[in-house]
Structure 1
Amino acid sequence: MRFNCFQKNCYLFLFLSIATSAIAQESAVNNDRNANFHKAIRLYNNKAYAASQELFRNVSSNTEKHHNLKADADYYDAMCAIKLEQDDADYRVNDFVENYPYNNKKEKAFLTVGNYYFANRKAAHALKWYQKVNEKLLSTEEKNELNYKMGYALLVSNYLKDAKSRFKTLLGNPIFGNDARYYYGYIAYKQENFGEAEDNLSQLANDATYQAKANYYILDISFKAGRFDKSIQIGEQLLATTKDKKEISEISKIVGESYFNLKKYEKAIPYLEAYQGKNGRWTNTDYYYLGYAFYQQKNYESAIGNFNKIIDGNNEVAQNAYYHLAECYLMQDKKLEALNAFKNASEMDYDADITQSASLNYAKLSYEEGNPYKSVPEVLKEFLVKYPASPNATEISNLLVTSYLHQKDYQGALDFLTTSEIPESKNMVHEVSLYRGIQLFNENKITDAKPYFIKAKESENDTIRSKGAYWLAETAYLLGDYQNALENFLSVSNKEISEATMLNYQLGYTNFKLKSYPNAAKHFLQFLEQNLDDNDLNDDASNRLGDSFYASKSYANAIKAYNKVIEEGGIGADYAQYQTAMSNGFLGKNDVKINNLETLISDYNDSQLKDDALFQLATTYTTLNKTSKAQKVYDRLLTKHPESNYVPSVLLRQGLLYYSNNQNSKAIQKYKDVVAKHPNSNEARQAVTNLKNVYIDLGKVDEYAAWVQNVSFANVTNEELDNATYQSAENKFLENNNTKAIEGFNKYLQEFPKGINLLKAHFYLGQAYANTKSFNKAIPHYDYVAKQNKSEFTEEALTKLANIYLQKENWTLGMAVLKQLEKEANYPQNIIFAQSNLMKGYYKKEDYTNAIACAEKVLSTGKVDTTIAEDAKIILARSSFKNNDFPTAEEYFNEVSRKATGELKAECLYYNAFFLHENKEYEYSNKAVQDLIANYSSYKYWGVKSYIIMAKNYYALKDAYQATYILENIIKNFTQYKDVIEEAKNELRSIKNKEAKTNESVTTQN
């Protein structure tokens, strides 16, 4: 037993020893874990989250699964992950909750994480964790804190209703009460529950933290509730204490608008001006308030400066603004600007009274100033249709009658008058017909103008009747009906009309055309006795007086008339000098004639008559039997003027002179030169005959026979048949029987392809085709003549051929002919014709440099037709503009503008506006546009194009409203002008993008 007892005791001792050892070891491990845990806690409390996290994880990994220390270590590990913003932080917190669902730190974990995010202003994250908290497990203090923080997080996340419920539980709380009340009141404010908001916010009036903010919201609430006096009181108190610029701006806006609503506009202005806008940008309504306040103070300039910043407005505020803007413009006598603003207001229907009043003013101003968008009658008619019962209907109806005339839309006026029941319409038709006829006449539509002058001549009014007769005569003259022109000129009974000053001049020309030379001389003399201050016109009349006497063989009187031009050195002096020489020759004063011709040759360097003078000089020397001098003069002509029409005749005459002086070899050479160089001339045929006589005299008929074999036109088998066939066709042509003439000339050309009369046959066949308007058939015949050596037919053939090509608008072929005509023509009018049409051709081909050169030639010629001169000036103006030579372009556009009418006048006014804009003379540029719109609105293209310049002017003058409104209306109303629309769109885009920087109502455009 002892043994057994001893044995038991030994086992017990051994067990106790082992157990004691195990307990000691476990105690040691526990001590280490606890030490590490407490160390980790210290690090955690000192915010050394990374180091503490490492220890917490070490403790957790060395602690049994269900040990409380492990739970604590995992909790703090998760908290460290949150603090360190680790990617798996949320996972660790959720993992902790799942692993320890009954741990008393679960709710604390949710709160701690939520509070962490809350402190770091991550409301959405905080809210996520707060919503996990089981509020039943929280203490009262914890619940209050949770409600406050959740309320704030819900507010920030825009869950206003839920946030309000949270704050409501704290309204009496000693810790969170004021904060909760502020946010509660703020939410009520946001929900537009202004009574509740004001009740709560007003309780914070003495709270240092929320006093200013609460008063701001109370200020806004008072304003929205219409308690403007209270708004002003609170606002001015706030402005006295606040330093924040943004708050000052917002408060000033409310105070200003409060004064505005109380109609205390003078007090409102400084506050409204103090508003800085949102991000520096005002709205259209902001501009309206300030503009209207200035308007009420009669400060129209400042009112305009604000109203005109209202762009893209389309509401009741905008309609009011545009209407008052128009009134301000009227106060400053800016009627066209007012027209646009009234038009804008009339197109809105928010206030019917304003719409009607704006429509009335728009109609009246359209009548006064013109309308760029529609015809004035159309605007007036639209008002009458829309407001037939208006008390102003009669006034507008009366304006309608005269509006067509005001706009110079004479055709429109006639169309209206012919259907009008107004008693005066019948008489007005005659007068308006006269104006329409003159308008068409000035546009070179002569045939179209004629019936209008006939109508005007039917007037009972002596002035209108006489004017109609005068212009009908002008029309008949230009159409070649000289007898009718004479009758109408003579029927002008009222000599007080402005046209009467030119009556004798026109009668002189008409009688001259009718070969009634004594009557022509009488009227030219009477015209000169009027002593008009127009030297060019007087010079021309003097020359025509001389021509009338000359044609009547009254050479002494002719010389007197010509000498007047010569003495004054006027235009046409070289012609007068030549005619004087010829007159002296007919008087038998050959010595005087020679002196006259020598003077012309030496003193008139640019004269086109120098070859004529040389020919006549040589002829005179021949008459006086001074053959040596004659030959020298002939040689001068050949040397100086090798392209002259006289060349064939000169060569023939030189041959005759040599033959007469027995210088046969020289005579032969001259005759052969005529045949070789001018085979199609009459002189060539005469030269063949003369050569035959020379060779016969020399006894060398065989040499003649050999030579003549190579002369194609001299080898006709039957010369008499050739001449007879040609003469038959020519006779029909001279009888004006073009059909038979065409048949005859074609027969001649077919039977005698190398005939004697080949050149003449081609020329007259071309003329016959032209007379029957078979221009395509005329072309090859004129072309044949043009390609031969120069003859008496060359110049006219080139002129006719050029005319045909120009009518067909074939500028390529036409210009080639015109260049040849310019080079070979002797008549000044044909040279001018060539140059004036060349300048047009070069312009059409966009060769502006050559167009300018030709135009300058035309203008340097001296006296040219007024129409041609004006054409040259406009080509110079347009081409210089295209070449970016603005000074020259401006000079000529201004010069053309003085005499221009119709569409050309509209174009000149456009460029006048353009150059004034370029020179930054914006107000004057706008006046030029207004002139165009008021007087030439029927020429829409130039009116619309000029309106873009006006828009640019307004923007430069800081009137963005006018600029954008004009451009928008161009884009909306004139889609037919694609180039103008594109320019308007680009300009509008640029302006709106600039304005969007200061006006949040304006959207930027791409």
Structure 2
Amino acid sequence: ANFQLAKLYYRQQKYLKAEKAFEDVDVYDLNTEELSEYYFKSGYSFFMLKKYDKAKKHLFEIIDIDTKYFASANYYYAHILYSEKNYETALKSFLKIEKDETFKHVIPYYIAQIYYLQGKYDEVIAYAPPLLDSATASRADEIARILGESYFKTEQYAASIPYLEKYMSKTKNIITRQDNYETGYAYYKSGADVTKAISYFEKVTTVEDSLTQNTYYILGDCYLKNGNKNFAMNSFLSASKYSFYPTIKEDALFNYAKLAYELSINPYNEAVEAFQKFINDYPESSKIDEARTSLVNLFLTTKNYKDALTSIEKIKHRDDKLNKAYQKIAYYRGIELFNNKDIDSAITVLNKSNTQPFDNTIKANCYYWKGEGFYRLSEFDSAIVNYKTFLISPGAFSLPIYNTANYNIGYCYFKQKNYKSAINNFRKFYTNKSDENKKVINDACLRIADCYFISKEYSNAIEYYDRAIAIKSFDTDYAMYQKSLCYGVLGKYDSKINTLLVMLEQYPKTAYCDDAEFELANTYLTKNDNENALIYYKKVNTDFSSGSYAKRALLKTGLIYFNTDRDTLALQTFKKVVSDYPATNESKDALISIRNIYMDMDSVSAFYLYVKGQPEYGTKTETEQDSMTYLAAETKYMNGDCDKATRGFSKYIQQFPNGYFVTNAYYYKAECDYKNNNLAEALMGYIYVTGKPQNKFSEYALIKAAEINYKLNRYDSAAFYYSELEKNAEYKSNIILARSAIMRCNWKAGNYNKAIIAARELIGTEKVTEELLTEAHVTIGRSALLLDSTALAQTEFEFAYKLSPTSEFGAEAKYNLAYLQYVLQDYVKSENLIFEVINLVPSYDYWLAKSYILLADVYVKTGNIFQAKYTLQSIIDNYDGADLVTIAHEKLNKINNDEKEKAQLLLLEQQKIQEDEKIKFDNTPDSEKLFEEKE
């Protein structure tokens, strides 16, 4: 009765009740057939209740007995053993029923899995392939996995690839780092496809563990095989940072150092640090000699002279090879500092180079560039000493700069007003000229002529002005003007007039136009040709009404009228001088002439009435008080006592607002205010001076007014004063200053079209330095870029780089060329141009860092996320500027966040996640046969 009750519960799948009923059965009451049925159904009930020990015990009783329960008993018995990892015993039962109709569709997968879990990979390879043809999708994925891994474990890498790829592409399980590693390694070891190997390996390095270290090391070799040494270098560096595998760490560090040295592109000189670290950490390494040799060679060829110099100075015991390298590195570092305008530091480092006597050419060059440095510092005696030492140094004569030293010495003497010595050295240069720049030869002729002119050797001056004119390089108008002055002093007035007329005809827009017209007028006056004199004095007044000659020309016009008995015109002209140019020497002279005319007219009372209406010409007592008050303040100013001078000038301005010296007072007070950083007060003073007729302070006041506005970020106001300077400048250097500053003001103010116009104006100006020309082209490029005129931007940046490839503006131009290609989505060209920036000598940290950030952007666009992250981290670790480090952090964080988001999405898309690697238990499609119909 208990057995029948148990079977009833079993059919109803009420396994708890069945369990109780089966336990109450006395097996000795059952016959053989019933006994088999009892052991299977009770065992199955225990199995369904997950009481596997009891199930196993009951099923074991019939696994070797030929009954209708033979296959089912062995299946469930084997499954329990499989779950308990008792694979060998489970395999015996699975093999017994391998051909059974009920279980033959599932048993082979257990068998294949057991072979795999036992590490019997050859058996898996022999047994499993046929299963793929009939397997369901989920089982096919798993069979492909164990087959792929079995081939992998037996080092049959090429054979493993199709199975691993099938699993990776079809499975709904999460792809693990190990999966990616094995697939990548299979491609790597088989040599089938290194690029594919890289794509899998790059997915492994997300956790800091031994697998990541090993992967980075292999990635380095993959990149080498692919010809990408930059990426290989970065991978070896990453591998060297982990200590899980000491051998890999050592070899990776050495490989990184070698590649960094070979490529010579690392802006932070990490190759030097890597070799030093290798030598310190692995002094017994078999590669130690190679590392030391490479370090010396690296010092000799490095482009990061700053860090190289620091590194080599840390070495306590240097042999001749290192000292020779030190001499060269210090020299190049000195030149780099010189180009960066850090002259004092440049001289110090060049002195360090000269402590080593190995290379005579370098030693001679050091003396030359020290001379250049001292000249820039206006220390002319020291400059002369170094230039002269250069000239007698071994190895100097064959250098292309040899003769230039004579030219430079000439300038030193010229600056010291030692004109005789200046002439001697300029003439040495001119006599020995060969392939020197035409402009430099022209300049030497002009300076020789100027020295003769100042020395009053006018015939010699004319000779060299003529030579400069014949060269037709630059400042030809200046040479002609100076030549005319020589003729004037020599009394050759017709030659002077002819020279000036030719100059004005050939150079109608010359900066010396007002000078020439005024000199023509004076010369005609000297020749008593009053009418021609009047013509040119009037031209000066008309064409240059705000110039310094205007008041003098007007005064002389009045004098001509007076001397030719045209008193009415003379009186009108003199009065105009007084009214237009009050408180000037010319107005004083005009007033005397007015008095004389009135006296000749016997109208003295009319003169005093006129004078009374001129506030700046008060009583004698007032005039004396005016002068004394001003002179008291001026004396303090000239003695350097700005505090008392400021109070004195303020008192004068308040007491004599229209005084004779009021312009002087405002200017000198402004100078004191500027010196004391009282910029607002200084600006008021300078603006007052700029509003007065042209005077000796006008240009300086315009410059200072513009400078203060620029300092205060008032770029439009600064541009206005620089524009006024450009219009009224009597010195050509101030025209260049004005035009360059107008360009910068408009750029800073965001007036990009105006910045372009100003830059083009500067480019068209004579005697503009190469540095300013480069800046002008870069400014046009920058502005065009922001105005979306990419074609113009590219043209200008290319021109700027060709003009000055070693300057900071050149580096900026090359960076922007790379950026333009990035914008145009030509990432290959952009990357190539970026590496050109990195390879520039000298290097500029800001543009290096900017270029590396752009390189990271290129890597992101081309899918090289690993390289993008490394590149940004390199900036963060090595660059000092907070602005670009912040940008690098932001970009790196974005990449990391994007990766996390992608990983999260991948998790959400997984349809099925297995808890282990085993095949899921299958209760068979015919399991209902285990339950009989109700009898």
* Pair 1:417–1:970, CA change in 2 (3 A): closer
What letter corresponds to residue 436 of structure 1 in structure 2?
Answer: R
* AA partner of residue 548 (structure 1): C
Task: Give the superposition deviation at 1:864.
Answer: 0.8
In the alignment, the residues of structure 2 paired with residue 783 and residue 298 of structure 1 have an alpha-carbon distance, to the nearest angstrom, of 78
Matched residue, 2:891? 983
Aligned: 1:387 with 2:282: yes
Q: CA deviation at 1:323?
A: 0.9
Return the match for 2:244 from 350, 367, 371: 350
* Whole-angstrom distance in 2 between the partners of 1:614 and 1:222: 109
Cα gap change, 1:455 to 1:947, in 2 (>3 Å): closer
Over alpha carbons, which structure has the higher Rg? 1
Equivalents in 2 of 1:165, 1:862: separation in Å? 107
Q: Deviations over 1:959-991 (max 9, x none)?
A: 443334444665677794112221233245446
Find the aligned partners of 1:314 and 1:279 in 2 and give their Cα distance: 26
8 Å CA contact 1:742–1:769 kept in 2: the answer is no
CA contact (8 A) 1:325 1:338 kept: yes
Farther off after superposition, 321-330 or 170-179:
170-179
Kept in 1: contact 2:6–2:21 (CA 8 A): no
Distance 2:388 2:636 in 1: 36
**Pair 1:258 & 2:150 matched:** yes
Aligned to 2:579: 676
Aligned-pair Cα RMSD in Å: 4.3
Cα distance in 2, alignment partners of residues 473 and 772 from structure 1: 34
- 1: CA distance, partners of 2:531 / 2:428: 47
Residue 491 (str. 1) matches residue 356 (str. 2): no
Residue 379 of structure 2 is matched in structure 1 by 481
Deviation sequence 1:495-516 (CA, Å, 0-9, x none): 3335335323323322322334
- With 492-501 and 687-696 compared, the bigger mean Cα shift is at 492-501
Between the aligned partners of 1:884 and 1:686, the Cα distance in structure 2 is 60
Q: Would the aligned equivalents of 2:299 and 2:329 in 1 still touch at CA under 8 Å? A: no
Matched, 1:421 2:421: no
Of the three residues 731, 739, 756, the one matched with 2:640 is 739
Deviation by residue 1:636-683 (Cα, 9 ceiling, x = unmatched):
333333332221112212211222222223222222222222224322
Q: CA deviation at 1:396?
A: 3.7
- Give deviations 1:454-498, integer Å, cap 9, x for gaps: 455565454333323222222222222333323322221223335
What's 1:948 paired with?
853
User: Which one of the candidate residues 914, 921, 928 is aligned to 2:819?
Assistant: 914
Say whether residues 1:136 and 2:21 are aligned partners. yes
1:560 and 1:280 map into 2 onto residues whose CA distance is 94
- In the alignment, what sits opposite 1:463? 361
User: Once the 2 structures are TM-superposed, how far is the Cα of residue 341 of structure 1 from its aligned partner?
Assistant: 0.7
Distance 1:716 1:962 in 2: 86
- Please say if 1:317 is aligned against 2:211: yes
The counterpart of 2:735, out of the listed 826, 831, 847, is: 831
8 Å Cα contact 1:414-1:432 kept in structure 2 = no
Aligned to 2:928: none
- Cα deviation, 1:662-709, whole Å, max 9, x if unaligned, reads 222322222222222222432222222222222222222223222222
**Match for residue 408 of structure 1?**
304
- The 1-side partners of 2:317 and 2:779 are apart by 46
The 3 A distance-change label for structure 1 pair 252 and 285 is same
Higher mean C-alpha displacement, 374-383 vs 132-141: 132-141
**Which residue matches 1:269?**
161
Q: Deviations over 1:751-771 (max 9, x none)?
A: 573543333354456667878
Displacement of 1:326 in angstroms is 0.7
Task: Determine which of 815, 819, 822 is the counterpart of 2:726.
Answer: 822
**Structure 1 residue 713, shift from structure 2 partner:** 2.7
Out of 255, 258, 263, which is 1:364 matched to? 258
Secondary structure, counterpart of 2:334 in structure 1: helix
| C-alpha spacing 1:537/1:414, structure 2 compared with 1 (3 Å) | same
Contact 1:265 1:296 in 2 (8 A): yes
Measure the CA separation in 2 of the matches of 1:163 and 1:903: 83
Q: For structure 1, which segment, 135-144 or 757-766, has the greater mean C-alpha deviation from structure 2 after superposition? A: 135-144
Q: What secondary structure sits across from 1:670 in the alignment? A: helix
Distance 1:389 1:651 in 2: 91
Calculate percent identity across the aligned residue pairs: 29
CA-CA distance at 1:355 after TM superposition = 1.8
Q: 1:967 to 1:988 in 2, by over 3 A?
A: farther
Cα distance between partner residues in 2 of 1:645 and 1:147? 124
Structure 2 distance, partners of 1:936, 1:167, is 83
SS of the residue aligned with 2:701?
A: helix
Q: Which amino acid aligns with 1:915?
A: L
Give matches, 1:134-173, under 5 Å.
136=21
**Structure 2 unaligned regions, length at least 5:** 26-33, 911-935
Whether 1:445 aligns to 2:353 is no
How is 1:861-900 mapped onto 2 (pairs within 5 angstroms)?
A: 861-898=765-802, 899-900=804-805
User: Matched residues in 2 for 1:161 and 1:872: separation?
Assistant: 90
How many angstroms does 1:795 deviate by? 0.5
Counterpart in 2 of 1:663?
A: 566
**CA 1:967–1:194: 2 relative to 1, 3 Å:** farther
1:42-441 aligned within 5 A: 130-131=15-16, 136=21, 178-179=71-72, 181-182=74-75, 184-208=77-101, 210-239=103-132, 241-242=133-134, 244=136, 247-277=139-169, 278-279=171-172, 282-299=175-192, 300-368=194-262, 369-371=264-266, 375-393=270-288, 395-397=290-292, 399-400=294-295, 403=298, 406-410=302-306, 413-414=309-310, 416-417=312-313, 420-424=316-320, 431-441=328-338
Aligned to 1:858: 762
2:474 corresponds to 1:578: no
1:437-458 Cα distance to aligned partner (Å, 9 max, x none): 3222211223443333445556
One-letter amino acid of the counterpart of residue 234, structure 2: N
- Deviation string, structure 1 residues 848-902 (Cα, Å, up to 9, x no partner): 4443333332222132123322333333344444444444444444444453547
Counterpart secondary structure, 2:100? coil
> 1:154 & 1:534 partners in 2: Cα distance?
101
Superposed, 1:720-739 pairs within 5 Å as: 738-739=639-640
The answer on 1:504 being equivalent to 2:406 is: yes
Residues 720-753 of structure 1, C-alpha deviations (whole Å, 9 max, x = no match): 67557767877898xxx63369867965774573
The structural deviation recorded for 1:827 is 2.0
d(CA) in 2 for partners of 1:663, 1:151: 141
Q: Deviations over 1:369-419 (max 9, x none)?
A: 354677444434443444344344454455556656614233661574266
Whole-Å separation in 1 of the counterparts to 2:144 and 2:816: 48
Residues 148, 170 of structure 1: 8 Å contact kept: no
Structure 2 CA distance for partners of 1:291 and 1:837, relative to 1, 3 Å: same
1:515 has 2:400 as partner: no
Q: 2:615 aligns with which of 712, 716, 719?
A: 712
